[in-house]
Chain A
Amino acid sequence: MIRTPLRPLARILRARETGENPDAIEAENLAQRHAVIQDGARNRAQGRLFIMAMAFVAAFATVGIRMGAMAASQPSEPRAQATGAQIISQRADITDRHGRVLATNLLTHSLYAHPRQMVDPNAAAEKLAAIFPDLKAERLKEDFSGKRSFLWIKKKISPEQMQAVHDIGEPGLLFGPREMRLYPNGRIASHILGGSTFGKEDVASAEVVGVAGVEKAFDRWLRDPANDGAPLSLSVDLTVQAAMEEMLSNGMKVMQAKGATGILMEVKTGEIVAMASLPDFDPNDRPRPLLTGDPSDSPLFNRAVQGQYELGSTFKIFPVAQALDLKLVNANTMINANAPMRIGKYLINEFRNHNYGTLSVTDIIVKSSNVGTVRVAQLLGAERQRDFLERLGFFEPTPVEMSEAPTGKPLVPKRWPAVTSATVSFGHGLAASPLHLATAYATIANGGKRVSPTLVHERSRKEGEQVLSPQAAQTAVQLLRQVVVRGSGRSANVEGYEVAGKTGTADKPRPTGGYYKNKVVSTFASVFPASNPEYVLVVSLDEPTSTGAGGESRTAGATSAPVAGEMVRRLAPLLGLRPITETPLPVVERPLADGIKLVSN
């Protein structure tokens, strides 16, 4: 840029010549120069103002947008989850089908010690031993005076004990909160629930893990926080379960049995309403498993699910139902049941060496003829018989939701020669759990649609495959009804409930091979009411003896059938089943005092 001088010589000289004031020229140039400077300054100031304005706009826009967002958002508590973390309700409750509590949690405390912080370890040890009789003062003194800096004293203590320990006033004795699993009903449903123990332990908390039964099978589910504390609703009915255990223990005492088991199952859904196995235990104080001897002698052994018994004549209905389904026989077909019958080198005899001659299919079931059943099974052939039993679920462990279920795999013969086929047809040579039997009977009672047993209430499940035609299934139930009306199960007849069932007395196998002469497992498998089957009841007694008018008897008809009858009499009203009276009682209407007749449609 060419700087214009304030007094340019040329213009000054010209102005002097013309007699003008040269100072005016200087003032003009100075004004021009000032105007340029002013323009620059204004531009800079404008730029600064613009930036300032933008900064304010941005700040106010930020505040405005934030206010708008806050006004439009849903109000929520900013610390909602912070204080909601409680130690209790970590593990979901277990309830029965009506919501009555079977297992819940209780907050207790554990007691631990920091021996190095102790003021008077010897006195503390003495006082602790006085509070807890199972602790030894000598042992505690040793622990407290040793090198240990930490030790557990008690895993669960009651509030009274906690207060007593507080009163010792020893700073080295400390408490940690503990969530304890409580089974308020004690022994009732003990085998179904199983039990629980502490898993990982810490001073501040401990995890509770299931060790058996549904507690173990649903361990993940029960501990899943995503369920939001929803209880696990079992299909068990507490009232029915308690009544069944009472009846079963009475029956076991009367029949002098070693053990007993009972299963009550809904036919339509396969839901187990009650399942008991005696002897039982208290899940609050679960006994240790036996380390020596037969595990089935332990009270922890669940006979209903884990027990594998040859279930005897209760199996006879299966080949007969299959033969009815295949239309090989009908209920009146006469079958040659002359005993003894020879298969290869084996002789098949009837109970007490009877010989029934020729029997109808109905009478084979009613009289429980071994030979007759073998003849029917021979009509079927081993292949089809085996296939049918497989479809009834006798070859696999039951799918019931208990940790013991997979261990109850039936003992199925590997090969299936003619003699095995014959013995299996009347329930020997194939050992299955009573739950398998109940499931198979439920399948027959359900019009031949396969039922799978479950312990969970109202879980949606797909419909089972049709194993048997509805007609054959109905005939089979009617045959079973005849057993109770005029056969070996007469003592299980209950007026109004149309019990249909089959007795089964099986000799117990010796562990060394062969069978005991005077030890049996007597089973009664039943369906009621026969006209519209709703429930299946299986009662099994281990080594029962009934002493009646005719001397000692071990047959199922004299041992488990009466127990089952009493059970139906007691349980059916509890289940809400109305007794079926064949002719409705005449109803005499009470006349109203004023002679007015009540009319309704």
Chain B
Amino acid sequence: MRSVLYLLTTLAVMGMAFWAYRENYSTQAALTEMGSVQREIATLREDLGVLRAEWAFLNRPDRLQDLVNLNFDKLKLMPFDSSQYVDVVQVSFPKPKPAAAPLDPLGLLTSPDNVPVERPAGFPPIRPQERTP
């Protein structure tokens, strides 16, 4: 009985030692990785600073103005003007697209007397309002 207990204890100690050894090495590996990640963060932050500076440099008002002047024939951009403030009702929104034909659960469309008539060309497409009685 006692020898079994000794054996188990020894095995437990060996197991723990092995676990601690592995933990130690994995911690050191994590630390090394963390160091490299932090170096990477530092270089990325430097790059970010450079990119931010470059973005600001490319978006400087002088350059944008030159680009607008160069592309005037295509874009026709003019300075923002007070006449461009209008009420919402004055905005000409695009017309709503005709909704797709809803599924017909009652089978009205499939019955022979409700077969949709092919519309002549140029006739406005079927709108949902026309279907509802």
Question: B41 contacts which chain A residues (CB < 8 A)?
Answer: 84
B112 touches A (CB below 8 Å): no
Give the contacting residue for A589; candidates B89, B127, B129; CB below 8 A: B89
Q: Which residues of A contact B111 (CB under 8 A)?
A: none
From 54 to 104 in chain B, residues with beta carbon under 8 angstroms from any chain A beta carbon are 55-57, 59-62, 65, 79-85, 87, 89-90, 92, 95
Query: With A and B bound together, what is the CA distance between A494 and B60 in angstroms?
Result: 29
With A77-B34, A83-B35, A188-B60 known to touch, is A104 a contact of B53 (CB < 8 Å)? yes
Q: How far is the CA of A163 from the CA of B39 in the complex (A)?
A: 24
Contact residues, A79-107 vs B (CB, 8 A): 79-80, 82-84, 86, 88-89, 93, 100-101, 104-107
Please determine whether A83 and B61 come into contact, CB atoms closer than 8 angstroms. Answer: no
In the assembled complex, A578 has its CB within 8 A of some CB on chain B: yes
Q: Is A242 an interface residue (CB 8 A)?
A: yes
CB contacts (< 8 Å) of B82 on chain A: these are: 494-497, 569, 572-573, 578-579
Chain A residues lying within 8 Å of B65, measured Cβ to Cβ, are 242, 246
B residues less than 8 Å from A187 (CB atoms) = 62
Residues of B within 8 A of A243 (CB): 79
Question: Quick one: given A104-B53, A106-B50, A593-B95, are A79 and B60 in contact (CB under 8 Å)?
Answer: no
Residues of chain A in range 157-189 having any CB-CB distance to chain B below 8 Å: 182, 184-188
Contact of B56 among A89, A185, A239, A496 (CB under 8 A): A185
Tell me whether A185 and B60 are in contact in the complex, defined as CB-CB below 8 angstroms, given that A83-B42, A86-B46 are known contacts.
yes
Q: How far is the CB of A103 from chain B (nearest CB, A)?
A: 9
Contact between B52 and A238, CB atoms less than 8 A apart? no
A594 within 8 A of partner (CB): yes
Q: Is A587 an interface residue (CB 8 A)?
A: yes
What separation, in Å, do the CA atoms of A589 and B89 have in the docked complex? 7
Write out the residue numbers on chain A whose beta carbons fall within 8 Å of the beta carbon of B49.
Answer: 88-89, 104-107
A79, A86, A573, A594: which contacts B45 (Cβ < 8 A)?
A86
B residues within 8 A CB of A79? 31, 34-35, 38
Return A335 CB to nearest CB of chain B, in Å. Answer: 37
User: A238 and B46: CB pair below 8 A?
Assistant: no
Interface of A is mostly: loop
Is B38 touching A84 in the complex (CB atoms < 8 A)? yes
Q: A86-B45, A88-B49, A104-B52 are in contact. Are A186 and B62 (CB under 8 A)?
A: yes
Check A106–B61 contact: CB distance below 8 A. no
Q: Which residues of A contact B80 (CB under 8 A)?
A: 573-574
What is the size, in residues, of chain B's interface with A at 8 Å between Cβ atoms? 35
Q: Name the B residues within 8 Å of A184 (CB-CB).
A: 53, 56-57, 60
A590 and B60 in contact, given A83-B42, A184-B53 (Cβ under 8 angstroms): no
Contact: B61 with A188, CB < 8 Å?
Answer: yes
- A136 contacts partner chain B, Cβ-Cβ < 8 Å: no
- Verify if A78 is at the interface (C-beta below 8 Å from B): yes
Contact yes or no, A238 B38, CB < 8 A: no
- Taking the nearest CB of chain B, how far is it from the CB of A535, in angstroms? 14
- Chain B CB within 8 A of A570 CB: yes
Please, how many residues of chain A have a CB less than 8 angstroms from a CB on the other chain? 46
- Which B-chain residue is minimally distant from A245 (CB atoms)? B61
The answer to whether A594 and B38 touch across the interface, beta carbons within 8 angstroms, is no
Q: Known interface pairs A79-B34, A107-B50. Does A587 touch B39 (Cβ–Cβ under 8 Å)?
A: no
Q: Once bound together, how far apart are the Cα atoms of A495 and B81, in whole Å?
A: 12
Q: CB-CB < 8 A to A93: which residues of B?
A: 52
**When chains A and B are docked, how far (Å) is the Cα of A570 from the Cα of B80?**
7
Minimum distance in angstroms from A311 CB to a CB of chain B: 29
**Residue ID in chain B nearest A86 by CB atoms:** B42
Contacts of B42 in A (CB 8 A): 83-84, 86
Task: Contact check, B46 vs A107: say whether CB atoms are below 8 A apart.
Answer: yes
Chain A residues, Cβ within 8 Å of B53: 101, 104-106, 182, 184
Q: Which residue of B lies closest to A83 (CB)?
A: B38
A186 cross-chain contacts in B, Cβ below 8 A: 60, 62
Determine how close the nearest CB of chain B comes to the CB of A574; give it in whole angstroms.
6
Nearest chain-A residue to B79 (Cβ)? A570
Assuming the contacts A83-B35, A578-B85, A589-B89, asked whether A101 and B61 have C-beta atoms less than 8 A apart, the reply is no
A104 contact set on B, CB distance < 8 A: 49, 52-53, 56
Residues from chain B with a CB closer than 8 A to the CB of A495 are: 82
Closest to B64 in A: A242
A289 smallest CB distance to B (angstroms)? 25
In the complex, which residue of chain B has the Cβ closest to the Cβ of A241?
B61
Q: How far is the CA of A88 from the CA of B49 in the complex (A)?
A: 8
How far is A596 from B130 in the complex, measured between Cα atoms in Å? 13
- Measured in the bound complex, the distance between the Cα atoms of B45 and A31 in whole Å is 88
Distance between B97 CB and nearest chain A CB, rounded to angstroms? 13
Please give me the residue from chain A that is nearest to B39 by CB atom.
A83
Interfacial chain A residues near B50, Cβ < 8 Å: 106-107
Give CA–CA (A509, B129) in the complex, Å.
Answer: 80
In angstroms, Cα B62 to Cα A229, docked, is 28
**How far, in angstroms, from A84 to B95 measured CA to CA in the complex?**
56
Within 8 Å by CB of A573, from B34, B60, B84, B129, lies B84
Q: How far is the CA of A80 from the CA of B45 in the complex (A)?
A: 16
B56 near A101: Cβ-Cβ < 8 Å: yes
A593→B124 CA distance, assembly (Å): 11
From 26 to 45 in chain B, residues with beta carbon under 8 angstroms from any chain A beta carbon are: 31, 34-35, 38-39, 41-42, 45
Chain B hits for A494, CB < 8 A: 82
Chain A residue contacts of B35, Cβ below 8 A:
79, 82-83
A residues with a Cβ closer than 8 A to B are 77-80, 82-84, 86, 88-89, 93, 100-101, 104-107, 182, 184-188, 238-239, 242-243, 246, 494-497, 569-570, 572-574, 578-579, 585, 587, 589-590, 593-594, 596
21 A-B pairs with CB atoms under 8 Å apart are A78-B31, A79-B31, A83-B42, A86-B42, A86-B46, A88-B45, A93-B52, A100-B56, A106-B50, A107-B46, A107-B49, A107-B50, A185-B56, A186-B62, A243-B79, A246-B65, A495-B82, A578-B82, A579-B85, A587-B90, A590-B89
Known: A82-B35, A83-B42, A188-B60. 18 other contacts (CB 8 A): A83-B35, A84-B41, A100-B56, A100-B59, A101-B55, A101-B56, A104-B49, A106-B49, A184-B56, A185-B62, A188-B61, A570-B79, A573-B84, A579-B82, A579-B83, A587-B89, A590-B89, A596-B129
- Show the binding face of B for A, using Cβ within 8 Å: 31, 34-35, 38-39, 41-42, 45-46, 49-50, 52-53, 55-57, 59-62, 65, 79-85, 87, 89-90, 92, 95, 127, 129
Nearest 3 A-B pairs (CB), nearest first? Answer: A242-B61, A184-B56, A101-B56
